[in-house]
Structure formats: structure tokens, C-alpha cells
Structure 1
Amino acid sequence: MFRLLIVDDEPAIVDGLQQHFQEEEWELDLCKAYSADEALEIAKRTKIDLLISDIRMPGKSGLQLVDDVLFYWPSCRVILLTGHSEFDYAYKAIQKNVDSYILKMEGIDVIHKAVSAVLGKFEEERRNLNMLKRASLKLTVAEPLLKKELFEALLIGDNAANAGRSEWYDGPSLLIDLGKPFIMFSGMVDHWQEKMTYMKKMEIYYSVQNLFAEHLPLQIKAETVIHDRSVLCWFVQPDTASTRFTEETGGTDWQALVYYLKGMLEPVQNSCRNELGVSISFVVGRGAVKGNEIGKEFDLIKAVFKQRAVFGPEMAVIDLDKSDEWFKGETRKYAAPPAVEFNKKLHALEKFLDEGNEKEAAGLTADLVSVLKNETNPNYVMGKERYYMLLLVYLSALNSMDFSDKSLHEIRIASISVFESQAEWGTIEEQLIRLCELICQMKKEQIENSEHRIVERVHRFVNENLGNDLSLARIAEVVYFNPSYLSRFYKQLTGRNLSDYINEARKNAAMDMLMHTQLKVNEIALKLGFESPSYFTSFFRKMTGSSPQEFRETAVRRGK
């Protein structure tokens, strides 16, 4: 899906183009703005693939807007519209590598063909571009071990300033200044394919690092590290020579940088899915942090990832500062078992329970009980420790879920056997497998309920904001989704496009106001987000078969 931003200070032109492209079968997420400043605010927070803009607008011109948008999204394509055929404008447009320079008098067909040509270029680039191969070529320039050790130390709570000044740290220079605040965010692969090797996982992680670097503007500096072979961590600062993220007071506008990073993560996620074959979720920190706060910030991020694994969607982008209770939780720690193989099986069991995979979890439970039975006689203490570690996996799974008293009664935690020297392994296996089945059944129910709650949340936001921004990017932000993934998720779950629901909601609201209020048609149009009454009339006629006024008159006659 590609995102198209339409900008003009004439609402009729913006709304007309929006209506035209909504009726096409192209997969486009449409955004609109009635000024260059409004368009720039959208571009600061959301990836733009194609910009259609008027050249002459009050305040900032279309040519200036092109410069701003291309700063944030260098690969954005541009189509400029004008009511004038001045050579000077055309020459400047050509210099900016604009795809098309169109006179408004040429009509909608010419604009349609220009957009179609741009989409064709996108598809050609998608076919020809092998980002994985390009990223793999850069594996030889992975960060030196010294830099990795430095950032690993910061993540576990070491003082950043002291670490950076250590005598032994005389290696490669850092791209960021550890003595100044920065934004921290992390990424994790949602699900690994079965039997994927460690080296293949690391290759993907390095490729993700390089994909992020390819999307990052030169005016933003970042360092990255792979922590514990599983979590990608970035530390980001704006370049001191750039004023792009500077407040009027002269300080850094950290909130603007957070918004931009969240928007930039969408194309990174899409590239990971399309080119690397993995989905990845991100958690963005609470804003500017100092070196001494890194360990605490990272603990919060890890806790959010754990909760996301239980309740959250794939390809999530979670703002830690705005996350609600859905993603809040405390990290639960327990000691690792002494045997590597037993530890691996426990982690595998935890994964199957998280996924609600009843068959695999039950089979692995039987296998673990068999191991305990064989190893307890020669080492009773070790067997007892491992038995309670096995129970802890189940208790942790239960503790991460929201279950009722009735479910707790069905599980019968209190009836689980206490470990004895002469353990009844047959009874223990039967109890644990039953516990496994109940947890997996509850997990499946929670996943289904969670999906329906997401849809309900989307519907509620749409119905409460019919007159505001209802672009896919804005709605996705509310439910912590990747916008492109939200579109597919919603259609898969409901069988309809999200845009169809929005149009239906606006139609129903319009009908209700026409029947039960004295508001004028243009007032209803504004309340529902239509800047142009004519566009509202056209929309309403398409949805109902009659104009708003005709519908109101018919309703009045029927009421009499």
C-alpha cells in the first residue's frame, strides 16, 4: 500500500481528487491538507510515497513544501499542479526531479495518468530492488566489538559518561554524544521460523540495522547494538548542525523527533516483511533520556515487549510514553536451569504456551516429565529444582493472562502435586498436561477477544472522530499498528475495507443529522470532515442515491 498526500489551498480540488482516487482500485492510503504547513505536519509523522501539490499557496509555496517533504522522505515522488504555465516554475520543478508538472486546466485524466505512471515506477522498483542482498553486502562493516561492549554495558545500567571516558575506550568514534540526551528505542522479531539457525538470525538482525540506516536522514545520528542476541537497540540524536528538530527556544524538539521516528519505522517494518521475510515490532522510549537512565528505560522497554508477546499485534510500533495498561507490566525473573538442553525445552514450552499451541505444549510437557523422572533418582535436589522450574513456566504463563475466578477453579492450581522423593510421575504428567490444555484454550480465547477489542477500538475512534483526521496512519497510531498491516488485519477479520466502514459511518451520521437536526447541509459537511459542501453532496449521493436535501425532504414527508 502506498500513501498519497494531496495538498491545495482550494478545498474543492483536494476533495475532488480524493474522491476520484477513492473510487479507483489502487491500494492507496489517502491523506489531504489545505495548506503547506498542514501537509508538513503530516509528513513529519507519517511516511509519504507520493505528493500531489499546488505550487502557489499562501505562506509556503509548493516548491518549498517539496524540499521539506523530501527531507523526511527522500524517495517520495512528486506531482506539481498549477494554474499557470510560467517557465520559471517549470524549470525549478525539473531541477527538483519532480515526476510531473501539470496545468490544472488539463483535467483529472492527465493527473490520473501521472499517478498511474508513478505507481508503475513503484512496482518496478519493488520488483528490481533486493534490499536483503544490499544489506548483506554491508555485514563486513558491522560495529566493532569494542563499541558493542560499551552499549551492552549501558543497557545493564553502567554510567554512560564514565564508560565513554574509560581509558580502554580508544576505538572507533561514536556517532552520538553520550554526554547529551538522546532517544532510545528497540525492535524485536515477532516470530522466528522453526529451526532457524543462530547465524541466520544474526544475519537478519544486521540486515535490519542496515535497513534502518538506509532510511535515516543524514541530519539524524544513531548508534545501534544487538542486545542478548534478541533485541535491537538504537540510540538517536539530531545532528547539532541541523535545526530540523529545534524548538523556538533553541532546545531540541524531542516529541517531534519521536513522531518522526515512529513514522519512519513503518517503511522499515515493511522492508523487513517483504525483503527479509520477518515481522518486527518496535517500542519507542519516553523521550529524551540521559546516559544514567538507559538501564531503567531498557527495563521498561523489555517489559512492554513481554506484554506485547501476550496481548499485542504483530508489527507493532508502541510509544512507551503513551502506552496504556495493555502494555504495562513488570519483568518476571527466575534463575536459569543448570542444563542447557533442559533450559531450551523450558523456553520452547513457554513459547508454545504463549502461542496457545496445545499439541506441541502437551507433547513437550510429557517429554520434560520423562526427563525429570529419569534424572531425579541420581540427583534428587536437581530434580526438585527442575520440577519447580517447570511449574514456574506454567505459573508465569498464567500470571501474564487475565483469567477469572471460574477459570482459576477449573485449573485447580492447589491440586498440583508437591514434589516428593517418590513422586507419582504418571499423576504429575496427567495434571500438567491438563493444565497445559486449559492455558492454551484460555490463550486462544484471549487472542480472539483481543482481536475483536482492537476492531472495537478502531470503530469507536472512527465514530468519535468523523470530523477529524481518519487517515489510515492516524487510526493505526491509536491501536499501535503498522498502518499497512492494520489495513490487512482489519479486512481479514471483518471481511471489508476500513475505508468502507468510515464511509458507512459518515453516511449514517449524515442521515441522522439530516433527519433529526436543523443544521444546514454545509454545516453537516464540516462536522463530518468535508471541507467542500459539493464534495459532501457528491459523496452522499453516491452512498444513498439522493442528494442531502432530497433525503431531508423525503424524510420530512414521511414523518408527516
Structure 2
Amino acid sequence: MYRMLIVDDEPIIVEGLYDMFQQIGDWPLELHRAYDAKAALDIARRSRIDILLTDIQMPEMDGIGLQREVVRLWPRCRSIFLTGYDDFDYIQSSLRSGALDYVLKTEGDPAIVAAVNKAVQAISQEVSLERLIAGARSRMTAALPTLRKEYLSELLGGEPSTAAARQGRFAELGIPLDPHRPVLPIVGRVDRWRDETGIADRPLYVYSIGNIFEEYFAATQRIVHVQLAPNRLVWLLQPKDGNDAANAEELHRYAVGTAEAVQQSCRRYLKLAISFVVGSAPCPWEELPSRYERLSLMFVRGLGIESEMLLSDRRLFEEESFGARARLRKLPQLGQLLEQKEQAAFERLYDEIVAAVPGHSGLQTGLGLEIYYGLASLFISYLNRKQLLADIAEQIQLGKLLSIREHATWDEVCAFYRELAGLLFRRHSDENERESGRIVRLVQEYIASNLGGDLSLAQLADAVYLAPFYLSRLYKQRTGVSLTDYIIDARIVRAKELLADTPLKIHEIGLRIGYESAPYFTRFFKRITGRTPQEYRDAADRL
């Protein structure tokens, strides 16, 4: 939707053009009108203007001066000048000032429509999908390392993905791994930086560590490297021969032995102490978050030394405990879904998280306690931000949110939080319904009180403190009727009342419902009702 402002000091011309473009229903235009440059600038200061259709010769400020001011506010605005002067020098001046086109008033409506169509096409081409994608692709190429790091960090953090989705993202980001094949993770840590190494120098050393790693592994493995923290590095490997059925023990020995060589080279050439934890076997992408957490915890557990560790995760932890902890790490996602009001997705993830704890023993396990208080923190934070804690306390037993001792079983914990979430989702839905209904009522009241004034979308949006386009969508979604149609209907209803019940003259009634020109009020009324205002009045008098 593009916004066009029509400006002329002759109201009959403005009303005629406004009425003509309103009747071209398939054009993506939101129309505004003004009868002098000052009023036009007031509109431009409140709302974006895409096309300025203005007379050149106007009192106080002419069209060229107006165009300069509008373009200063909205540099992408396209300008079309209307002129009654077939004067080459004047036209050249308008084109030099940045006009897209000019139209002689004597050329009539078809020439004006053609000029506006030209402006619409120019804007469409400028923001066309192809141009946007081409620009995004160019910027994306420059940002690939950052985008690749962000995406891999999301995968390691437990972001859900499918093989098909990974395949598309791998291609976009130039990740040389197969999204369908398992992957072997190796986690590294810089235990100690050199004393003379400043913070600004550390990225260079990290890059050098990556180079050494690739020199040793690249002959047999496809490799992706990601830095998750200043001293935490992760490599994901897949054998180049594509033989995933190879002996896992042989691959593990190779990875540990080669990581040891990398460790020694970093000590010798970079004077850096590096620790590595090597995955015991390749894992499916779906299990990568839990495997990464397992490897990371090895740095915490250690085996008696604090520097240059070289460990494997084999047989140190039970897989089941890590699968459960991987679900626990999804609690922040649960909070996001609550904020975004996505109830179905929230409930699916909630069921997945609480299922990590056996129902019969949940209250006695550390994992159960961690999930309980993680949920408590999530909900208390949400209720405080929304200032709902006092209201909700009247509807739930607040003690059950503050202490696990208030629950007899894990199933009771699960039911309590599910009920609390359902209450919050229902409350949001009710509030949204009430607020959108209030906005509609305020807009309709404003229209009823200002039928003879400015009822542009920008003005209505200002009245209810919303963005114009959002207000238009909200109103149509809530009522099933567009704002334009509602305003037309309100003006027709009021015009009929004034015609039937008052002695006001036709042009006075036109002014009261927003039409400066009596001929165009007559034309508008007849187009909607099939009768002129006088014909309608005569019929009403006979009743």
C-alpha cells in the first residue's frame, strides 16, 4: 500500500482527483488531500508520503517549495506536478527540483492517471522482491561468518530443526557438512592466554588454533569450526569417505590421537595451553545439543588437572540423564512462547520438558527441583513484568508457585503449571479482545464527531496512537469492514439525515460531511445511492 497526497488550492480539483482515484479500486493507494502547502506539510509530518501530486502555482508556498520540504521528510517520495502553464522553463525547473513527472491540467484525467501509474511502478521496482533479495544476498555474503556462527550456536543450544531445514540453511551459509549424516563433536578450551596477549589479539590466536586443527584433520574429515565464547571452541566433523558405518572405536582413537597432536602444536608454536574433550562417537544432529552439554561438563568435572586436558565422554555419564538435561535447557524457549502468546507450541514444549522427570519420584530428584524452580522463575518474572502477580494471586494458590513443598506429587506440579499457563493465555485473549474492541469504538466515535473534518487514515491513527497501516488491518479484522467503507457509509447516513430533516442547502450538507465542492458531493452521493441529493430530498419530502 502506497500513500498519495493530492494538493491544489482549488478544492474542486482536489475533490475531483480524490474521488477519481478512490474509484480505481485495484490500485494500492491510500489517499490524502490538502488545499494548500501548509496543510499538506502537516500531513507529511504525521505520515509517510510515497507520491506527491501537487499543483505548481499556489499562494504562499508553491508546489516546488512543497516538494522540497516533503522530500526532505521522505526522501523516497515521488513527485508529480500539475501545471496550467505550457511553459518549458517552468517545467524544466520542476524536473530539476526532483519531480518524477509533470502533467498539464489541460491534458485531463487520463494523463494524470498515467503519471501516477508511472510513479507506482517506479516505487514497485525500487522495492521489488528481486532487488530486495539481491541486496540481502550481497549483505549476507559479507555477514556469512557471523550468520554461520549464530546458526551453529542455535543448533548446539537445542534449537529444533529437521534434516530438510538444515539442508537449506547449510547451503545458504556454506556449511560443508551433510545434514542427514551424524556428526562428531570436539570441544576445545583455551586454558591460559599468553601474558603479553591483549584482548584485541585473541581473535588472531583463535584463528591460528583453527588453522592448526584443520591442518591435522582436513585430510580425512569435513570440518566446521565455531567459537562460542572467547576461550570456548567447537569443531564438528564428518569423515570425507562418507562411511558412517566405520568402526566407531577406530574413529575415536584417530580423533583423540590427532587432537593430542593439535594440542602439542598449539603449545609449541602459539605458546598456548589448550584442552580438548572428544566425542566418543558420531551422533545424530538431533542429539548434538545434549552431546555438546556432555562434553562441556567434562571441563568442569576434569580428572585431577586443570590445564591441557585431553578427555573423552565415553562411559562417564548415562545418556538418559543428558537427554533430560537437554530438555531443561529449553526452558528459555518456553518463556519466549509465553511472551509470544503461542499457546499450542507452548503446551507441546511444556509437556516435553516435564516428561523428563519420572512422575513417581520427581519431587525427590535434583532434576525435578531444577525444573520446578526454573518454571517458577519463568512465571514469576512474566507476572511481574506484566504487573499481574496481585491479580493472579486471587485465582491460584500463590504458595504453590513459591515452594515445591506445597505439592504432593510431580503430577500435581505439572498440572499446576499447565493450569497457570492456560489462565495467562486466556487472560491475554480476553484483554486483546477488549482492547481491540475499545480501539474500534474510539475510531467510530471520532469519525462520528468529525465527518466534516480530516478522516484520513493518518489522522485516525493519531487519534488512537497506532500506526496507520496497523490500524487499517486491525479495524478490518475486527469488524469485517474497511475503514474507507465505514467512513463512506457514515457520511452517507449523515447526509441522508441532513437532507431529510434540515433545511440546509446541498453545498452546506456537503461541507458538513467533508466535501468542499458541491458538484463532487453530488457525484459522490449519487454514486453510492443512485440518486442525487436533491432527488433524495424530494423523495423524503413526499413521505
Partner in structure 2 of residue 491 of structure 1:
476
> In structure 2, what is the equivalent of residue 6 of structure 1?
6
Structure 1 segments unaligned to the other structure (5+ residues): 143-192, 204-338
> Aligned pair in 2 of structure 1 residues 98, 359: CA closer, same or farther (>3 Å)?
closer
Partner of 2:46: 45
1:82 corresponds in structure 2 to 83
Letter in 1 for 2:472: S
CA contact (8 A) 2:380 2:389 kept: no
Indicate if the aligned counterparts of 2:376 and 2:402 stay in contact, CA closer than 8 A. no
8 Å contact from structure 1 (residues 51, 77) kept in 2: yes
Distance in 1 between the 2:332 and 2:406 partners? 26
Please state how far the C-alpha of 1:554 moved relative to its aligned partner.
2.4
How far does the alpha carbon of each residue in 1:468-488 deviate from its partner, in whole angstroms, 9 at most, with x for none? 222222223334443334334
Identity rate, percent: 37
> How far apart, in 2, do the equivalents of 1:553 and 1:405 lie?
63
d(CA) in 2 for partners of 1:405 and 1:549?
62
Residue 39 (structure 2) pairs with residue 54 (structure 1): no
Given the alignment of the two structures, is residue 22 of structure 1 paired with residue 22 of structure 2, yes or no?
yes
3-state DSSP of counterpart to 2:405: coil
Q: Report the Cα distance in structure 2 between the residues aligned to 1:15 and 1:343, rounded to whole angstroms.
A: 64
CA distance in 2, matches of 1:82, 1:103: 5
SS for the counterpart of 1:130 is: helix
8 Å Cα contact 2:337-2:343 kept in structure 1:
yes
Distance 2:392 2:404 in 1: 24
Please tell me whether the aligned partners of residues 398 and 439 of structure 1 are also in contact (alpha carbons under 8 angstroms).
no
Shift of the alpha carbon at 1:104?
1.1
Spell out, residue by residue over 1:96-136, the C-alpha distance to the aligned partner (whole angstroms, 9 max, x if none).
34232222122112111221222222333333653354366
Q: CA deviation at 1:342?
A: 7.6
Secondary structure of the residue aligned to 2:452 is coil
By how many angstroms is 1:87 displaced?
2.2
Q: 1:399 to 1:521 in 2, by over 3 A?
A: farther
**What is the DSSP-based 3-state SS (H/G/I as helix, E as strand, rest coil) of the residue aligned with 2:519?**
helix
Between structure 1 and structure 2, the one with the greater Rg is 2
Instruction: Determine if the alignment matches structure 1 residue 511 to structure 2 residue 496.
Output: yes
Cα shift readout 1:24-72 (whole Å, capped 9, x = no counterpart): 0212111111111221222223211111111111111112222222222
- Identify the residue that residue 114 of structure 2 maps to in structure 1: 113
Aligned 1:346-361 pairs, distance under 5 A:
346-361=331-346
Q: Bigger relative contact order, structure 1 or 2, given CA contacts below 8 A and separation 6+?
A: 1
Contact 2:41-2:69 within 8 A present in 1 as well: yes
Q: Within 1, Cα distance between the matches of 2:493 and 2:390?
A: 41
Deviations for 1:274-331, whole angstroms, at most 9, x for unmatched residues? xxxxxxxxxxxxxxxxxxxxxxxxxxxxxxxxxxxxxxxxxxxxxxxxxxxxxxxxxx
1:445 to 415, 422, 430: 430
Find the residue that maps to 2:128 and give its secondary structure. helix
Q: What runs of 5+ residues in structure 2 fail to find an aligned partner?
A: 144-158, 173-323
Aligned residue number for residue 285 of structure 1: none
Superposition pairs of residues 310-329 of structure 1, within 5 angstroms: none
Deviation at 1:466, TM superposition (A): 1.8
Relative to structure 1, is the Cα distance of residues 417 and 6 closer, same or farther in structure 2, using a 3 angstrom cutoff?
Answer: closer
Alignment of 1:149-160 (within 5 A): none
Q: 1:78, 1:99 within 8 Å by CA — same for their partners in 2?
A: yes
In terms of mean alpha carbon deviation, does 106-115 or 23-32 score higher?
106-115
2:328 touches 2:371 (CA, 8 Å); kept in 1?
no
SS at match of 1:420: helix
Distance 1:84 1:139, change over 3 A: same
8 A Cα contact 1:55 1:80, kept in partner: yes
After TM superposition, the score normalised by the length of structure 2 is 0.59
SS of corresponding position for 1:554: helix
**What letter corresponds to residue 14 of structure 1 in structure 2?**
V
Residue number in structure 2 paired with 1:419:
404
CA distance in 1, matches of 2:72, 2:420: 55
Q: Residue type of the partner of 1:84?
A: Y
- 1:387 equivalent in alignment to 2:387: no
Match of 2:453 in 1: 468
Task: Say whether residues 1:122 and 2:123 are aligned partners.
Answer: yes
Distance 1:68 1:421 in 2: 67
Find the aligned partners of 1:421 and 1:547 in 2 and give their Cα distance.
75
TM-score with structure 1 length normalisation?
A: 0.57
Q: Note the alpha carbon deviations across 1:507-550, whole angstroms, 9 max, x for none.
A: 11222222333333222222222121222222122222222233
Residues 125 and 366 (structure 1), Cα distance of their counterparts in 2 relative to 1, 3 Å cut: closer
> 1:153 is matched with which residue?
none
Check whether the contact 1:5–1:31 (CA below 8 A) recurs between aligned residues.
yes
Equivalent pair of 1:417/1:428 in contact (CA under 8 Å): no
State the distance in 2 between where 1:139 and 1:99 align: 32
Separation of aligned partners in 2, 1:139 and 1:356: 31
CA distance in 2 between counterparts of 1:407 and 1:422 reads 18
C-alpha contact 2:372 2:413 (8 A) present in aligned 1: no
Evaluate the alpha carbon distance shift between residue 6 and residue 343 of structure 1 in structure 2; reply closer, same or farther with a 3 A threshold.
farther
Q: In 1, are the aligned partners of 2:383 and 2:389 still within 8 Å (CA)?
A: no
Amino acid at match of 1:55: I
Mapped to 2, the partners of 1:20 and 1:376 lie a distance apart of 72
* AA of the residue aligned to 2:456: S
SS at match of 2:438: helix
**CA distance in 1: counterparts of 2:82 and 2:530, whole angstroms:** 32
SS of the aligned residue for 1:32 comes to strand
Residue 458 of structure 1 is matched in structure 2 by: 443
Which is further off, 357-366 or 397-406? 397-406
Displacement of 1:406: 11
Taking structure 1 as reference, are residues 464 and 421 closer, same or farther at Cα in structure 2, changes over 3 Å only?
closer
Question: CA-to-partner distance for each residue in 1:443-463, whole Å, 9 max, x for gaps?
Answer: 333333333333333323222
Distance 1:398 1:363 in 2: 21
Change (3 A) 1:457 1:129: farther
- 1:533 and 1:408 map into 2 onto residues whose CA distance is 62
Q: 1:522 to 1:403 in 2, by over 3 A?
A: farther
CA contact 1:362–1:437 (8 Å) conserved in 2: no
What is the SS of the residue equivalent to 1:350?
A: helix
Give the whole-Å Cα distance in 2 for the aligned partners of 1:468 and 1:129.
41
Q: Of 330, 336, 339, which residue of structure 2 is paired with 1:345?
A: 330
Taking the aligned partners of 2:465 and 2:329, their CA distance within structure 1 comes to 31
By how many angstroms is 1:491 displaced? 2.9
Superposition pairs of residues 281-300 of structure 1, within 5 angstroms: none
Map of 1:36 onto structure 2: 37
Letter of the structure 2 residue corresponding to residue 512 of structure 1: E
Tell me the C-alpha RMSD between the 2 structures. Answer: 3.7
Residue type of the partner of 1:540?
F
